[in-house]
A = this chain, B = another copy of it.
Amino acid sequence: MDERVREHAAVLVDWSARVDPGDDVVISVAEDAHELAVAVAERLGEVGANVVTTYGSAELQRAYLQAHDGDFEAGDHEAALLSAADVYLRLGGGRNTAATADVESETRQAYSRARANIRDARMDTDWVSTVHPTRSLAQQAGMAYEAYQEFVYNAVLRDWEALAERMATVKALLDDGERVRIVKERDDQPRTDIQLSIADRTAVNSAASVAYDSHNLPSGEVFTAPADADGEVFFDVPMTISDRRVRDVRLVFEAGEVVDYEAAQGESVIESVLETDAGARRLGELGIGMNRGIDRVTDNILFDEKMGETAHLALGRAYDANLPDGESGNDSAVHVDLITDLSEASRIEVDGDVVQRNGVFYFEDGFEAAKRPD
């Protein structure tokens, strides 16, 4: 076995899920995540946890969903399994990212609605989702298999403790700050200059560990929920939204709401997102990507949005974790992330102080210029 697979398993079990001896752990294994599952089982054996392994096969799910009459119910046995579980580890990595492409969205939604209690039980565990680098994911990323493996392990096998500390500094900035400004002035792009109100909002230090209320491995972002937004922003990182390619989206905000939009590709996708509901025209998230192990776009939002030296804004639903207790943020049926590269000709200001320039934070080597805006 590639030693990196064992290291991945150790990060997942020890850093991310914090598994203790005697914990009842569910491992969900996608079709081609076998090797990672073996390594995770080995690590859980060393820790002395109790393991049930489920088979997270998209092909199997498609067969079930297509054959069913659509009047779904949640199995008591599945609810019992998850209610009794302490930890849930999802090992993604199937054989075909389009394996369920022909399942009608009504069917998916009916299945999902019927299983709300199962999802709730899973979310009540110390759950962590990760992926094993498979050929299918390499293909989605447009990368050779070995290069994609290298990419995934660069993203996952970080010094998480050190990164969590750096991210804590950014979280403190956002928690204390009232206003974030993002400016980018590249000659070859429409200008970005947007102001976001974040007073009273709490940032999440997403350090790929349940100890930080962060449930994805890799992670590596600090995110909060803007209350208001004004200005224009150009998203130069390409995305796939609702199975369609979207490129070079430009949004204009006034009083928190999108008042103009355009895109070089997939503009109708953006249009349909914005028309979902009132909340879809407002922002639910500002995220700052800080995982420098993720150094390229791979058309997988779990990686792309964590990319170092980027920021993302999400149209739609806000996360409760960012809000004062009992308060609810922007509500919407959607949460669509759009990413902009800040590694060149860019700066992030908090309350007028430049805290990042060209992707480099003021507390990092290579940060240039005064903290005041120029």
Chain A interface (Cβ within 8 Å of chain B)?
22, 24-27, 29, 31, 34, 37-39, 41-46, 48, 50-55, 57, 59-61, 63-69, 71, 73-86
Known contacts A46-B68, A67-B43, A81-B80, A52 near B75 by CB under 8 Å: yes
Closest 4 pairs (CB-CB, A-B): A45-B67, A50-B75, A80-B80, A77-B84
A26 and B77 contact, CB distance less than 8 A: yes
> Is there contact, CB below 8 Å, between B84 and A76?
yes
Cross-chain contact B63 with A57 (CB below 8 angstroms): no
Distance between Cα atoms of A68 and B51 in the complex (Å) = 12
A81 touches which one: B31, B77, B86 (CB < 8 A)? B77
Contact B41 A60 (CB under 8 A): yes
User: Nearest chain B CB to A96's CB is how many angstroms away?
Assistant: 13
Most buried by B among A45, A82, A86: A45
Minimum distance in angstroms from A134 CB to a CB of chain B? 14
Chain B residues with CB under 8 A of A46: 67-68
Which listed residue (B26, B51, B66) contacts A42, Cβ 8 A? B66
Determine the chain B residues whose CB is within 8 A of the CB of A45 once the complex forms: 63-68
A52 and B77: CB pair below 8 A? yes
- Bound: A48/B110 CA distance, A: 14
Known A-B contacts: A50-B77, A53-B60. Give 7 more (CB < 8 A).
A34-B57, A34-B59, A41-B60, A45-B67, A45-B68, A77-B81, A77-B86
Distance to closest chain B CB from A104 (angstroms): 14
Q: Hey, which chain B residues are within 8 Å of A41, CB to CB?
A: 60-61, 63-64, 67
CB-defined A-B contacts under 8 Å, sample of 30: A22-B73, A24-B76, A26-B77, A29-B55, A31-B34, A34-B57, A34-B59, A37-B60, A38-B59, A38-B63, A42-B66, A42-B67, A44-B67, A45-B63, A45-B67, A46-B68, A48-B68, A48-B71, A50-B73, A50-B77, A50-B78, A51-B75, A53-B55, A53-B57, A53-B60, A54-B55, A77-B82, A79-B84, A80-B83, A80-B84
Q: How many copies does the complex hold?
A: 2
Q: How far is the CA of A84 from the CA of B26 in the complex (A)?
A: 17
- CA of A267 to CA of B74, assembled, Å: 54
Task: Given the known inter-chain contacts A44-B64, A64-B42, please indicate yes or no for A55 contacting B77, CB distance below 8 A.
Answer: no
Instruction: For the complex formed, measure the closest distance between the CB of A361 and the CB atoms of chain B, giving whole angstroms.
Output: 40
Residues of B with C-beta under 8 A to A27: 55
Taking a contact as CB atoms under 8 Å apart, the answer to whether A54 and B51 are in contact is: no
In the assembled complex, the Cα of A54 lies from the Cα of B38 at a distance in Å of 14
Contacts of A68 in B (CB 8 A): 45-46, 48
CB nearest neighbor in B for A54: B54
Q: How far is the CB of A93 from chain B (nearest CB, A)?
A: 13
